[in-house]
Structure formats: structure tokens, C-alpha cells
Amino acid sequence: MKKTLRYNYRLKPTPEQEAKLIEFGSYSRGLWNLLLSENQRQHEQDGTFLFYKDMASRIKQVKNLPEFAWVKAFDSAAAQQVARDLDTALRNGTSKGAHQKFPKFKVSYKIKKLHNDSFRAVNNSNCIRIENGTISLPKIGWVDIVLHRRLVSNIKTVTVQFRHGKWECSITQEVECKEAKKVLSSIVGYDINSKQTVVGSNGLTVSNPKFLKQSKEKLNTLQRQLARRKKGSARWNKTKNRINTLHGKVSRQRLDFAHKTARQITNASDIVVFEGLNVKAMQKFNGQMVADNIMGLISDLTKYKVELEGKIHHEIGRFERSTGICCECNHRHKLTLKDRTFTCVNCGTHNDRDYSASISIRNSGERDLMANGTIVRVKPMPQQKLLGKTKVFELSKLSTGSEEKSAA
Ligand SMILES: [Zn+2]
């Protein structure tokens, strides 16, 4: 089984290259807007859309027109990627029960004061290579890259973007998963509670780190400052830039923390069970917006890390009840949000709310996986019996998963 993973690297372009990168980003945006308006026109005429093939041939036609000389200046493979993205966006926006909205026109840097253009180059016939600390980008040349980690396999695509005041490229690569583990020796359930803390049935507790809170308070201060400044003035721009830089810092800190926690969880056991996260319910829970759902991110990152190692990741049903179940006798209790601990009315065990929830998540994960035939319980070996609760599972059939994209 192969997975497509994304790795982000910092780029250090020269001023000339930077100009070129900005130009390419704007071409990509221009092409998106052009193709989208073509789509709108077509849709008004006969209710149909242009899909990838039509758009690709439209690009070819337009290329030779003098007023669209810029399309010719753009990398042709990257232009096709724009058509591909719009194709996906159209399909997502028009399908039944779509959560995504219909694609929108992209706004330029000047209007939004945001440098969020990006373009994606494709590695056709090995045109994108990394040599001597530089990466070759089609029609741009060799750009300095900060290789903070080695490449895992061949480059598929490279997306270049200016984010939070820095040039970034994200490289997609295909990574082969390790062979599925046949004997799985441990299972751990994880509860994510309303206070945004992960509690594992193995005793692990991870809370939202303090530094994130500090950065966010700083961000709030700056945002209040921005509100006092006159829009568009020099001081306003200064504060705006500081906010942007800080946003970048927060998002990097957040991702770093999530990756580290996900790694910790992955290493801890062979089977990982999470609760299907209902973000909406969690928002209601807290009484405030959980805009940055860091615990959901941890769950997502854990999923691909676990699968890369040939281990099992399982999510129990979204609405399955996990809180208020005694971890000794499974007696159910009704708890209010204030109850952090409870004593079982049936057997008298004193339970911690989150810990008992993680145990019941682990148990229902185990039941699910045995019921659908993914794993079978193997009797513990005699010496393991002495250790008490050690369980050994065996994979009953090799699960085949589909290729997925995950952030790395
Ligand atoms: Zn009990």
C-alpha cells in the first residue's frame, strides 16, 4: 500500500527568482479566474460545465492568442494543474449533499493585501530535482531550498506558496507503508475531552500546550491594536505584518506539537482507537468556538503515522456513548459537564471521567475490530498471563486501504 505524503520545505529564492515566483502565482490565479468565468458562461448557456479535458483544450486554444501571452509564459504542466483543481472544486461544489461551496474567483494581492497565490509544478520526466541544496523548478531554475529532512522517495509535485512572510514549497512524495503487522500486542483508546486534552487508556495525558495559549493572547493584543490604527496607514501595515508573522509562528508551533503527540501515540501501541470527533458537538460543549481543533489534527496525523507503520487505526462511531461508563463493570451513569470524577453506583469504583471514557473507547474499538473480522483475539501465552491484562491480537485478514493524502 502506498501513501502520498506532503513535506514542507523553506525556499530561499534570489530577488529575480522571487519576482518570477510571484508572477507564476498570479498566472495561476489568473488562469483559475479565466477558466471559472468560462465555466459560468457555459453554465448560463446550457447548464453544463467544462471539466478537465475541456479546460485543458481551452488552455491550448487561448495560449496562441496575443492577449493571453501570459498563459504561454506560464509552465504548461502547472496550468493543467489549475484546470485539475477547478475540476475537483466544481465537482465538489455541485455534487449532491456537498459541504463545499461553489468555487469562487481568486482575489489579487493588491485588493486583499494578502500574498496567498500559489502554483503547483509537476515532476514530468524528472524535471524537478534536488541537487546541491537547490531545487529545479520548471521555467524558474535552480532555487535554494532548506532541506531540513531528506526526501523519502521520488518527487511527484511541488506547490510553491508565500506564506506568513516566507517562501515555502510543499513536495508530495509516494511512501510505501510497512507490511501490516500480523500480531498486534497492544490496544489503546484515546478520549478527547471538552477541555481539548487527549487522555489515553494507557495513562497518557496530553494537554493543549501553554505556549500556544501565550501566542494566542499575544495575537489578541495585536488584533486589538490593529483595530485602533487607521486602516491602510503605515502603523496599521506594521501591525498587520506582525500579526501575519505571529500567525505563521502559531501554526508552526501547533503542527509541531500535533506531530510530536501523534508520534508518541503511534509508538505507544499497535492498535489505536479514537473517538470519531464531532467538532460541532465540541463547539457546543465549550460554549465557544473551537476554531482551532488541534486535537482533531492530532487524530488525523496519528492515522497516517499508524498506517505507515502497518498498525491499525480505528475510529468508533460518532455518537457512541463513551463518557460515564464504569471501567470495571460497564455500568452507565449520567454525568453533567461539571462531573470530572464519579463513583460507580453498581460496584463502587471511583472513576476519572476522561480515563474511564478512554477505557470504554478502547473496549468498543476492540469489539468493533473483532466483529468486522479485522483482528482475532489470541489467547495470551502462559507467561503473559501472569502479567494480567496483556492481550494479543492477530490480524485475521490483510486489510486493503485506498491511497490517501495527508499532511506531513
Ligand atoms: Zn462499576
DSSP string, 137-156: ETTTEEEEEE-SS---S-EE
The answer to whether residues 103 and 228 belong to one domain is: no
Domain boundary among 176, 198, 228: 176
Answer with the one of 176, 201, 229 that is the final residue of a domain.
176
What is the pLDDT, as a whole number, of residue 281?
Answer: 54
Grouping H, G, I as helix, E, B as strand and the rest as coil, residue 228 is helix
Question: With 80 as the cut, is the pLDDT of residue 139 above it?
Answer: yes
Going from the Cα of 315 to the center of ligand 1, the distance in angstroms, rounded, reads: 25
Of 94-103, 310-319, 327-336, the poorest mean pLDDT is in 94-103
Q: Rounded to the nearest whole angstrom, what is the distance from the C-alpha of residue 202 to the centroid of ligand 1?
A: 19
How remote is the CA of residue 357 from the centroid of ligand 1, in Å?
A: 13
Strand intervals (E) in 178-277: 183-184, 187-192, 197-200, 205-207, 271-275
Lowest mean pLDDT among 22-36, 75-89, 372-386: 372-386
- Do the beta carbons of residue 79 and residue 92 sit within 8 Å? no
Q: What residue numbers bound the domain in which 218 lies?
A: 183-407
pLDDT of residue 64: 86
Q: How far does the centroid of ligand 1 lie from the alpha carbon of residue 344, in Å?
A: 5
Please tell me whether residues 44 and 137 are part of one structural domain. yes
Q: Residue 225: is its pLDDT beyond 90?
A: yes
The Å distance, Cα 333 to ligand 1 centre, comes to 10
Does one domain contain both 206 and 348? Answer: yes
Place of cell 501591525: 239
Rg, Å, the chain Cα set: 26
Phi-psi domain of 47 (left: phi exceeds 0; alpha: psi -120 through 50; beta: other) = left
Res 223: pLDDT: 92
Q: Which of 195-199, 200-204, 294-298 has the highest mean pLDDT?
A: 200-204
C-alpha 351 – ligand 1 centre gap (Å): 9
Question: Is there a contact between 235 and 329 (Cβ–Cβ < 8 Å)?
Answer: no
Whether 190 and 131 share a structural domain: no
Distance (angstroms) between ligand 1 centre and the Cα of 329 equals 4
Q: How many other C-beta atoms are found inside a 10 Å radius of the C-beta of residue 257?
A: 18
Distance CA 149, CA 94 (A): 40
Residue 117 to residue 305: CA distance in whole angstroms: 30
Ligand 1 centroid to 258 CA: how many Å? 34
Distance 200 CA to ligand 1 centre (A): 19
Residues 260 and 380 in one domain: yes
The more confident residue out of 64 and 287 is 64
pLDDT per residue over 45-58, tens digit each?
Answer: 988 888 899 999 99
CB atoms within 10 A of CB 408: 22
Task: Name the more confident of 20 and 276.
Answer: 20
Whole-number pLDDT of residue 145: 95
Kindly indicate the confidence band of residue 113, based on its pLDDT and cuts at 50, 70 and 90: low
Q: How far is the CA of 349 from the centre of ligand 1 (A)?
A: 5
Check if the beta carbon of residue 30 is closer than 8 Å to that of residue 24. Answer: no
Amino acid at 87: D
Whether 124 and 223 share a structural domain:
no
- Are 125 and 190 part of one and the same domain? no
Rounded to the nearest angstrom, the distance between the alpha carbon of 328 and the centre of ligand 1 is 5
Total domains present in the chain: 2
> Given this model, what pLDDT does residue 401 score?
46
Q: What percent of the chain has pLDDT over 70?
A: 86
Does residue 126 sit in the same domain as residue 230? Answer: no
Reported confidence tier of residue 164, pLDDT bands at 50, 70, 90: confident
* Cell output for 231: 486602516
Q: What integer best gives the mean pLDDT of the chain?
A: 84
Q: Please give the average per-residue pLDDT across 235-257, as a whole number.
A: 89
> How far away, in angstroms, is 321 Cα from ligand 1 center?
16
Of 130, 158, 176, the last residue of a domain is: 176
DSSP string of 108-176? PHHHHT----EEEEE-GGG---EETTEEEETTTEEEEEE-SS---S-EEEEEEEEETTEEEEEEEEEEE
Q: Which helix (H) or strand (E) holds 48?
A: none
pLDDT at 306: 94
Instruction: Clarify whether residues 167 and 193 are in a common domain.
Output: no
Distance in Å, CA 371 to ligand 1 centroid: 25
Task: Indicate the length of the chain as a whole number.
Answer: 408
Centre of ligand 1 to C-alpha 366, Å, is: 20
Res. 372: pLDDT tops 50: yes
Q: Are residues 106 and 187 in the same domain?
A: no
Q: Looking at the structure, tell me whether residues 172 and 192 fall in a common domain.
A: no
Q: Are residues 269 and 171 in the same domain?
A: no
